[in-house]
Structure 1
Amino acid sequence: MAGWLFVSTGLAYDVFGSPRPNEYFTEDRQDAPLITDRFNALEQVKKLSAQK
């Protein structure tokens, strides 16, 4: 029961920092947000998350 509430309320997205289902694809970006450079991954994540 607690696990279902954790996921269904969206708290799991906030705790783990994963995007919600409606945030994977934006109007500008219709392809999957892939990280391609492992040494600058944090910069790529920040850039992809700023493109909302």
Structure 2
Amino acid sequence: MLSNALENAESRRLLAVVDEMREMLHHEKIALPQIAVVGDQSVGKSSVLEALSSIQL
């Protein structure tokens, strides 16, 4: 499943944009968030992130 998502053209484009942003911000000492939440559908991934961040997703 993960390999299919990474092969998706949209996913590759978004990852390229994130890489560009990291390169631009490297000298500014601004770090982009680095987290990956992986799991089956409806197992509580969003709930865990909401609990950790106190932000409703």
TM (norm. structure 2) is 0.23
Higher relative contact order (CA 8 A, sep 6+): 1
Which of structures 1 and 2 has the bigger CA Rg? 2
